[in-house]
Amino acid sequence: MAISEQQLDQIEHLLQHSMNGLHLLFDHRRVAEILKTPTENLDLFKAPNLKKIDDLFTGLVARENLGSKQLYLESLDEESFEILLRAYFHIVDNTLRTSRTLTH
C-alpha cells in the first residue's frame, strides 16, 4: 500500500497533537484503560507482532482524513485496536523522550 506525502503529514500532525496531550484519534478513557498495563510489561514488539503492527499502522496512515482514520479504528477487533493504540503511543513516548533537551 503506497502512502502519500499528505497522509504522512496528517499522521505527523496527529502525533504532534498527541505529544501535546491532545489525542484526536482515541477516546481518553479507552487509552487510560488499555495503558493501565504498561506496554513494557508485554511482548508487543517481538518478531511475531511486528508485521501485524506494520499492517495496522499502515492501514491507519493510509486513511484520507481524521474521520476515516477513526472509522478504521472502530472497525478493528479489540486485540488489533490495543496493538495499534500501544504502537501509536510508543511512537509518541519515544519521540518525546528523544526530543527533550537536558536543561539545568
Task: Record the cell numbers describing residue 82, joined without a space.
Answer: 490495543
pLDDT for res 44: 86
* Residues 6+ positions from 93 with CB-CB distance below 8 Å: none
Q: How far apart are CA 4 and CA 56, in angstroms?
A: 17
Question: What percent of the chain stands above pLDDT 70?
Answer: 93
pLDDT tens by residue, 34-75: 999 888 888 888 888 899 999 999 999 999 899 999 999 999
pLDDT for res 1: 64
The pLDDT mean for the chain works out to 87
Helices 78-99 and 47-62: crossing angle in degrees, nearest 10, is: 90
| Domains of the chain, residue spans | 25-99
Q: How far apart are CA 23 and CA 40, in angstroms?
A: 21
pLDDT at 22 over 90: no
pLDDT for res 98: 84
* Residues 6+ positions from 87 with CB-CB distance below 8 Å: 44, 53, 56, 57
**Where is pLDDT greater, at 72 or 18?**
72
User: From residue 7, how far is each of 11, 28, 62, 67, 84 by CA, in Å?
Assistant: 6, 24, 6, 13, 17
